[in-house]
Amino acid sequence: MKRFSMILGMMCLGLVMSAQTGIINTRNANDASGKILTMEETILSRDLSPENLYCRWTSPQKVMMMKDGRWQEWDLKSDTYSDYSPKAQLPEAYTVGQSLWLKTRDGKEVAVAESENSEITYGQYVSRNEFGINDGFYWSPDSTKLAFYRKDESRVTSFPLLDITTRTGSLKEIKYPMAGMDSENVQLGVYDLASGKTVYVKADEFGYDRYLTNISWTPDASMILIQVLDRSQKHVKLNAYSAETGDFIRTLLTEDNDRYVEPQDPVWFVKGTDDVFIYRTDNRDGYRNLYLCDLQGSVRRLTATDADVAYLSNDGQYVYYTSAEVSPIENHLFRIGIKGLKKGVAKASFGKPQRLTTENGWHDIAMSPDCRHFIDSWSNLTTPRVIDLCTADGKTVRNLLTAEDPTLEHAYSEISLGTVKSADGLYDNYYRLIKPKDFDPSKKYPVIVYVYGGPHSQMVQNSYLGLLRRWEMYMAQRGYLVYVQDNRGTSNRGAAFEKAIHGQCGQAEMADQMVGVRMLMDLPYVDSERIGVHGWSYGGFMTISLITNYPDVFKVGVAGGPVIDWKWYEVMYGERYMDHPERNPEGYARTSLINKAKDLKGKLLICQGAIDPVVLWEHSLSFVRECVKNNIQVDYFPYPCHEHNVIGKDRVHLHDKISMYFEDYL
């Protein structure tokens, strides 16, 4: 990283704020100087935003960090550095093929669970990584037991992917559970290292294709907590099971919602206790907040804020968390005190929440294991990366790094953050607008709307350059206004905002995006006859949705890896947001883009990874087929050996293709 001044306070950052519009601007575009980005520079080289100094606590007093080109460990107490040497963590679990193996402390390799056939997998993630599932096995706190997933895909249909690198071409079959069709069966086994025996948890509720999510161990390793979710994803139970026998012990709490519940986190036990834990949900009070619970079933709200929060850590006295309560586009660290837990959750007392980060912007926090320090890595629209070591009460101990502005050598133009109302008038939707290089308000400029718009996304933040994708600046340097907006359905705004899309994906999102587009069309320097749209995956779905539903507004579109019909998408994600096809046939029909192909008027390019295992080739090919049936012209470019995202040097080709398409037709 390079050097840049750390300045406190929004007005001290050189930002220009309009009280009427709420827009935050970077430096004026006409002051920008330097070279224009090349596509290779945009895609392949190191990102122009300052590199993050990767820091990770290895003990309460030591931080692993990159220094002088190599990984070093900094000792806070002695203020000395030494080369970092990772210590072996034994016993060690690992997978070979579809089987789970274990290396004991004495180096012996043991098969924990061997796959019986190609449809059974042990020790790997399940449910296609939904519900916060990123791992396939979970060690007990004392490392004497290993919990692991068993996935049975025998009822799941297969989809063929074409491998053209073989002499005559070959097919690779993948298991893909589509919405409304049979799904996988998941079980949780518990392997005891001492006895070498495995028991399976008796999680028998909700039938064959229920989900077992967010596996948690009690501190004494006697119980496993599992969030058992039914297939409809409208009912979840947090259940406790015996780690010795797998027997059901009790249900600790339940969640129900007529749209969906979406458990994403394990539970976190309060240090110094064996039975008090922290649980996060947005289903009880409308926002993703923290709740203090115990193994007897007590539940009490801990963070009482109308904003989404994320748990970080606790030391038994304070719970540390980040929150969107200052602003939905900012992330700040808070802590709240807890006392009297020996009297029980109901009688415990909570302190007043304390905000520990003061600088406006987005703060990424790493707490030390003992919660005595934290590393604060933050930035805002005009302040590149700043990394500070702080004490638990928020006082800065040492600045680890303050970066210079790395864009000064490049002709970066003005970036503005602002808000427009959602289509229902209930929310402020945040946007990022980039003006062309050498912007002249007396001229008319074409617009590119870059869109994602789907769940679990936030495209606009008050972080350095507003969370800019460098391709946006590449296009702005070539004479385009580039607009990016979050809409209902995206994250960090509460349950009602996020769940507004349920049963009709694309509808509320399009309505919100069009409020932003209409705002742009009213600006004197926008050429309303030259508006384009581009997005990938859910953004590809949004791109085709917008250009077919508003054919008189959007002249050009480029859609990458687009979902075309939700009945072809996976069970876990598709049925959460669209419900089961048999329960919501009208919603599936309304959102299907097959039905919209006949309405295409503008120029549309579809790019697709030909071996995409996420959004199958069936989607885009079916849309092209429908265009042919209706004598509608559409452009199509497959990337034969790429999956859902085009990566590596071929990504330069992809973005050249996208950019040239706008150059040719917009």
Q: In the sheet where 223-229 sits, what is the strand order?
A: 211-217, 223-229, 235-242, 248-256
Question: Which DSSP state fits 88?
Answer: P
- Widest pairwise Cα distance in the chain: 79
**What percent of the chain stands above pLDDT 70?**
93
Find out whether 406 and 51 touch, Cβ atoms under 8 Å. Answer: no
pLDDT at residue 67 in the model: 66
Report DSSP letters for 482-537, one per residue. EEEE--TTSSSS-HHHHGGGTTSTTHHHHHHHHHHHHHHHTSTTEEEEEEEEEEET
Q: Evaluate the CA torsion angle 340, 342, 343, 348 in order and state its sign.
A: positive
Chain centroid offset of residue 28 CA: 32
Structure tokens of 337?
């005190």
* For residues 408-426, average pLDDT: 96
Cis peptide upstream of residue 177 (ω within 30 degrees of 0): no
Exposed, middle or buried by CB within 10 Å (0-12, 13-18, 19+), for 124?
A: middle
Considering Cα of 522, then 523, then 528, then 531, what sign does the dihedral take? negative
Cα–Cα distances in Å, from 362 out to 126, 310, 321, 430?
32, 14, 14, 15
Q: Is pLDDT at 457 greater than 60 in this prediction?
A: yes
Nearest C-alpha neighbor of 517 from the set 492, 470, 485, 551: 485
The 10s digit of each residue's pLDDT in 473-492 is 999 999 999 999 999 999 99
From the list 527, 644, 653, 656, the catalytic residue is 644
Give the pLDDT confidence score for residue 8 in this predicted structure. Answer: 25
Burial class (CB in 10 A: 0-12, 13-18, 19+), 629: exposed
Owner of token pair 């089961």: 580
How far apart CA 579 and CA 260 sit, in angstroms, is 9
Give the lowest-confidence range in 22-26, 551-555, 601-605, 614-618.
Answer: 22-26
3-state secondary structure 34-48: CECCCHHHHHCCCCC
Local structure of 660: helix, strand or coil: helix
Q: Which two tokens stand for residue 242?
A: 């015996």
Mapped to the 3 state alphabet, what secondary structure does 573-624 carry? HHHHHHCCCCCCHHHHHHHCCHHHHHHCCCEEEEEEECCCCCCCHHHHHHHH
| 370, two tokens | 């003992």
What does DSSP assign to residue 206?
A: T
Confidence of residue 50 (pLDDT cuts 50, 70, 90): low
Q: What is the mean pLDDT of the chain?
A: 92
Residue 34's pLDDT is what? 85
Amino acid at 587: G
Instruction: Give the DSSP H/E element, type plus range, for residue 572.
Output: helix 571-578
Using the predicted structure, report yes or no on whether residue 293 has a pLDDT greater than 90: yes
375 closest CA partner among 404, 355, 399 = 399
| 175 vs 173: CA distance, rounded Å | 7
- Termini Cα distance of the chain: 38
Q: Which pLDDT does position 418 carry in this prediction?
A: 98
Query: Whose CA is closest to 314, among 290, 285, 344, 295?
Result: 290
Position with higher pLDDT, 86 vs 104: 104
Q: Domains of the chain (ranges plus CATH)?
A: 21-49+406-665 (3.40.50.1820), 89-266 (2.140.10.30)
Phi-psi region of 220 (alpha: psi -120 to 50; beta: other; left: phi over 0): alpha
**530 C-beta neighbours (distance < 10 Å), count:** 19
pLDDT tens digit sequence for 312-365? 999 999 999 999 999 999 999 999 999 999 889 999 999 999 999 999 999 999
- Supply the pLDDT for residue 266: 98
Tell me, yes or no, if the pTM score tops 0.75: yes
Contact between 612 and 561 (Cβ < 8 Å): yes
Query: How much is the pLDDT for 355?
Result: 98
112-142 pLDDT, tens per residue? 999 999 999 999 999 999 999 999 999 999 9
Amino acid making up residue 509: E
**Rounded distance, CA 560 to CA 661, Å?**
13
Q: Which two tokens stand for residue 623?
A: 């849309």
pLDDT of residue 531: 98
> Mean per-residue pLDDT for 158-182?
96
The radius of gyration computed from the CA coordinates of the chain, to the nearest angstrom, equals: 26
Spacing of C-alpha 368 from chain mean position: 24
Active site residue 438: no
pLDDT at 85: 75
Q: Which residues contact 578 (CB under 8 A, 6 or more apart)?
A: 179, 502, 503, 504, 505, 566, 584, 587, 588, 591
**Which of 502, 612, 620, 655 is labelled catalytic?**
612
Token pair in block for residue 297: 């079933």
pLDDT of residue 623: 98
Which residue from 158, 163, 205, 156 is spatially nearest to 185, judged by alpha carbons?
156
Q: Is residue 302 within 8 Å of residue 293, measured between CB atoms?
A: no
Measured between alpha carbons, how far is 38 from 241 in angstroms, rounded to an integer? 57
| Average pLDDT of the residues in 237-244 | 98
Catalytic residue among 422, 537, 545, 622: 537
**612 catalytic residue (yes or no):** yes
Residue ranges of alpha helices (H) inside 1-45 are 39-43
With CA atoms as reference, report the closest residue to 102 among 123, 133, 126, 88: 123
Burial class (CB in 10 A: 0-12, 13-18, 19+), 479: middle
What is the rounded CA–CA span in Å between residue 529 and residue 554?
Answer: 8
Residue with tokens 């989900």: 211
Look up 642 and say whether it is catalytic. no
Kindly report the backbone phi and psi dihedral angles of residue 170, in degrees, each rounded to the nearest multiple of 5, phi listed first.
Answer: -145, 160
